[in-house]
Structures are given as structure tokens and as C-alpha cells.
Amino acid sequence: EDTRDLVSFALQAQQYRVTAVADGAAALAALREGRFDLVITDYDMPGLTGAEMLKQAGREGLMEEAAALVLTAHPDPSGVPEETPLLRKPLDLERLLVQVRTIVPAAKVDEHGGQ
């Protein structure tokens, strides 16, 4: 919860529009309801791991327009799609923001009024 709140606050401060959820089922529900440029997930979420959630979202075609980024403190996060970047905890917030800006450039945020 603390990491989710910190990441949400930091991204909103950078003008990104954020939808924060508590678990994999809620993440899938949010992906079914809207369009996202980036999905940031913790590997160790309640219910589904971040990898399981991303795989399910992929099977449902929910990730076609979205990139993903996985945060983890897990020593061996299995099942994360190979093309998905991993950021290790403890979280380096500046490194996270650099990674997000690489995936979702500021121009895209301005174009969409925050994403």
C-alpha cells in the first residue's frame, strides 16, 4: 500500500493520470474498463502475481496498447514477460520516473492531458 501510494503521488506530480488498485483482480477490471499507456505492477500482489496478471491481461487483449513495468523485491520473479522491465526494491523513485519517461514521453502526456 505504501509503495502504491508513493508511486501514485510521484507520477501525479509529473502530470501522469493514475489509476491505483490494490490487487491483480482489480487491475484486470481496470484494464477491461479503460485504455492505459503503462501498467506498473508489483510482482507480489494479493491473489495474482504481477506476472500472472500481465499474462491474463495479454490473453484478453488488454495490453495491446500498454507497456508494462514490474516492481519487485522477490529474489526470483518467475513468469514476467521477457520484454517487461523489472525495477528492484527498495524503490529508487528517480530511477522509476526515468523509466516511466522513457516508456511514456512527456509529449504523450501533454497530448493526452496526462496518462
Q: What is the pLDDT of residues 41-77, one digit of tens each?
A: 999 988 899 999 999 999 999 999 999 999 999 998 9
Q: How many beta carbons lie within 10 A of that of residue 48, not counting itself? A: 17
pTM of the shown model: 0.88
What are the grid coordinates assigned to 12, written together?
Answer: 501525479
Is residue 69 a contact partner of residue 85, using CB atoms and an 8 Å limit?
yes
Residue 82 pLDDT grade (very low, low, confident, very high; cuts 50, 70, 90): confident
Cβ neighbours of residue 91 under 8 Å, at least 6 residues apart? 3, 6, 7, 71
pLDDT reported for residue 17: 93
Strands 38-42 and 86-88: unpaired
